[in-house]
Amino acid sequence: MILMKDIIKEGNPLLKEKSIDVELPISLEDAEILNSMIEYIFNSIDPKVAEKYDLRPAVGLAAPQLGILKKMIAIVAPDESGNEHEFALINPKLLSYSDELTYLEVISKGLKVMDSTATALCKDNNIPLLVFAISDPENIVRAVKGEIIGTVVS
């Protein structure tokens, strides 16, 4: 089980290191890491478990945050009914860059921002999406502050 002590804090130089691609097909070890990351996210949003283990709420976790320099990200997001869905991003690549895109462009161009179901959920619920590079840990802080640092999909 991943705990807060396992998550590297902002400012750690390891977070500025370049991650490597995950070899496909994904190994059992990498699948287990992704499953642990998803488990952490679910645990962090469960009030009883989060309190018991002193977990901070999360919607996503990247392997480098655990000291694993591989291009793997786990995300848990709700649909319009409030049901949580888990997504694993392996070797994500930004295929197109602009300041603003529409969800229809993302879907019609097959851009791999996230899977089509998650894209449709965001579109149907009018949830804007900010896509940005996490290679610079400061980008997360900038995004939370409302700075436009990547591409907005709306």
Output the domain CATH number for residue 43: 3.90.45.10
Other Cβ atoms less than 10 A from the Cβ of 142: the count is 15
Which residue among 91, 122, 144 closes a domain?
91
Q: Are residues 72 and 109 in the same domain?
A: no
Given a cut of 90, whether residue 50 has pLDDT beyond it is yes
Q: Are residues 14 and 82 in the same domain?
A: yes
* Spatial distance between the Cα atoms of 113 and 133, rounded to a whole number of angstroms: 12
The domain total for the chain is: 2
Given a cut of 80, whether residue 74 has pLDDT beyond it is yes
pLDDT digits (tens, 9 = 90+) for 76-124: 888 778 888 888 888 877 555 555 667 677 667 666 666 666 777 777 7
Q: Are residues 70 and 19 in the same domain?
A: yes
Q: Are residues 87 and 98 in the same domain?
A: no
Structure tokens at 107: 């879907």
Per-residue confidence band for 68, with pLDDT thresholds at 50, 70 and 90:
very high
Q: Using a cut of 0.75, tell me whether the model's pTM lies above it.
A: no
pLDDT given at position 85: 85
Q: Are residues 6 and 79 in the same domain?
A: yes
End-to-end Cα separation, the chain, in angstroms: 36
User: Domain containing 128: what range?
Assistant: 93-154
Which residue among 91, 117, 142 closes a domain?
91
Which residue among 91, 121, 136 closes a domain?
91
Average pLDDT for residues 40-64, to the nearest whole number? 94
pLDDT given at position 113: 63
Strands 129-131 and 100-101: unpaired
Q: Are residues 46 and 120 in the same domain?
A: no
Task: Sort 153 into a burial class: Cβ within 10 Å, 0-12 / 13-18 / 19+.
Answer: buried
Given a cut of 90, whether residue 149 has pLDDT beyond it is no
Q: Are residues 128 and 112 in the same domain?
A: yes
- Residue pair 32/74 in contact (Cβ under 8 Å)? The answer is no
